[in-house]
Chains A and B, each alone.
Chain A
């Protein structure tokens, strides 16, 4: 009897990844009100104190369990709606208005924060260690000087999936054709330390259908180049160059997430576009909005796949697939104690896919589809 491949679904990890997680934009969180973020299997409260600093604590008050995110901001502190216990950003109870003194051990869990280019990050470490200095989030050059548009930002709640699903996309060359209407012609991954990058070049299917292929990997007219890097387990900075004829639009797409439970996560995506000289801010913002909308449509297609697929620990791969197993080995470093990180999880690994056969097939398919469409309309 022929042997049949069996799917090993495995189980999602019980802990949450160590690393910086973006929880949203400062402009949405810094309004003098406490905000609730369900993440890392619990609830967090985020607020801006009167001095301007953003703070993150466990939302559940250590007194009687009230939800601080339903409370109010009082000066630097957040006040619980239940008995008005006042908590500071360092996690210490600063004041109990009706009590003579604050119990000396009145301390809750504070989460280290980082603000970068208008985004708020929270550090998660199951071992409780502070973030190492060399593990940080890079700045976008020129963002502080107003060279880029304001952020567009969207959230998508994904339930019934572990966030590993979105990480898998990093090495998944062919899904860019089948899910994202792209035609990848160049695809390479590099993993090293806590950083993982995908180098991508291609064109749109719409453009490829016109038969603009010069040779494998080279299209006349429209092309996309993308360098996408995960800085840790959850924050992807995708530098994009979209070229239309002699004009290139430069943008940075952020795709990030934070885990809610081991089987759900909040996917966020946002974009800034390098302001095009000669266009006013409003027009530049319109371009960013339009590009974000198109990307958002692509993510919804991803979500549809995730909602219906099974978890699979032993994917069956062909030679045109990227290094899924090595990617997961890299991703594993964030789910083990620092002392248990194995050299192979962090040692440099490079993988370039041969796209020749794929591009050849897809190009032909697109031209045939376009011809069939013209024929049907005639």
Chain B
């Protein structure tokens, strides 16, 4: 997994992607540190974090690759 910092709140999460669709996100802190979390349903990925992950892929900081299975 690779670190991604949310561009909105700075929260750092660990992310891996093995395809354009597949995403794993491991939070390292209490997710209440996310300013949007309380407004979201449990299953929703924070939209600001999703944008940051997309940008990390586009910017080449996050590689989309098969994980070590």
Query: What is A's interface to B at a CB cutoff of 8 Å?
Result: 188, 190, 192, 195, 197, 199, 227, 229, 316-319, 323, 344, 347-356
Question: Which among A197, A227, A350, A354 is the interface contact of B45 at CB below 8 angstroms?
Answer: A350
Interface residues on chain B, number (Cβ under 8 Å) = 20
Nearest-CB residue, chain A, relative to B49: A350
How distant is the Cα of A354 from the Cα of B19 in the complex, in angstroms?
A: 7
- Which A residues lie within 8 Å of B45 (CB)? 350, 352
How distant is the Cα of A50 from the Cα of B20 in the complex, in angstroms?
A: 61
Q: Is the C-beta of B2 less than 8 angstroms from some C-beta in chain A?
A: no
Beta-carbon contacts under 8 Å, B1-54 to A: 18-31, 42-43, 45
- Contact call A353/B27, Cβ cutoff below 8 A: no
Nearest-CB residue, chain A, relative to B34: A348
Question: Which among B26, B31, B43 is the interface contact of A199 at CB below 8 angstroms?
Answer: B43
How distant is the Cα of A154 from the Cα of B26 in the complex, in angstroms?
A: 37
Known: A319-B66, A319-B67. A349 touches B25 (CB 8 A): yes
Nearest-CB residue, chain B, relative to A323: B24
How distant is the Cα of A229 from the Cα of B43 in the complex, in angstroms?
A: 10
A347, A348, A349, A355 pick with most chain B CB within 10 angstroms: A348
- Contact call B22/A352, Cβ cutoff below 8 A: yes
Known: A199-B43, A350-B45. A319 touches B26 (CB 8 A): no
- Contact call B67/A347, Cβ cutoff below 8 A: no
Nearest-CB residue, chain B, relative to A316: B69
Interchain residue pairs A-B with the least CB separation, the first 10: A354-B21, A348-B27, A354-B22, A348-B31, A350-B25, A354-B19, A199-B43, A351-B24, A347-B27, A319-B18
Listed by A's residue number, 20 A-B pairs whose Cβ atoms lie within 8 Å are: A190-B42, A197-B43, A227-B43, A319-B18, A319-B19, A319-B67, A323-B24, A347-B26, A347-B29, A348-B26, A349-B26, A350-B24, A350-B45, A351-B25, A352-B21, A352-B23, A353-B21, A354-B19, A355-B21, A356-B21
Task: Report A308 CB to chain B, min CB distance, Å.
Answer: 25
How distant is the Cα of A351 from the Cα of B30 in the complex, in angstroms?
A: 17
Given A192-B42, A199-B43, 20 further pairs, Cβ under 8 A: A188-B43, A197-B42, A227-B43, A319-B66, A319-B67, A319-B69, A347-B30, A347-B31, A348-B25, A348-B26, A350-B23, A350-B45, A351-B23, A351-B25, A352-B21, A352-B22, A353-B21, A354-B21, A354-B22, A356-B19
- Contact call A319/B28, Cβ cutoff below 8 A: no
How distant is the Cα of A231 from the Cα of B1 in the complex, in angstroms?
A: 28
How distant is the Cα of A37 from the Cα of B42 in the complex, in angstroms?
A: 34
- Which B residues lie within 8 Å of A317 (CB)? 69
Task: Report A188 CB to chain B, min CB distance, Å.
Answer: 7
- Which B residues lie within 8 Å of A350 (CB)? 23-25, 45
How distant is the Cα of A354 from the Cα of B16 in the complex, in angstroms?
A: 13
How distant is the Cα of A220 from the Cα of B42 in the complex, in angstroms?
A: 28
A323, A350, A352, A355 pick with most chain B CB within 10 angstroms: A350
Nearest-CB residue, chain B, relative to A216: B21
- Which B residues lie within 8 Å of A318 (CB)? 69
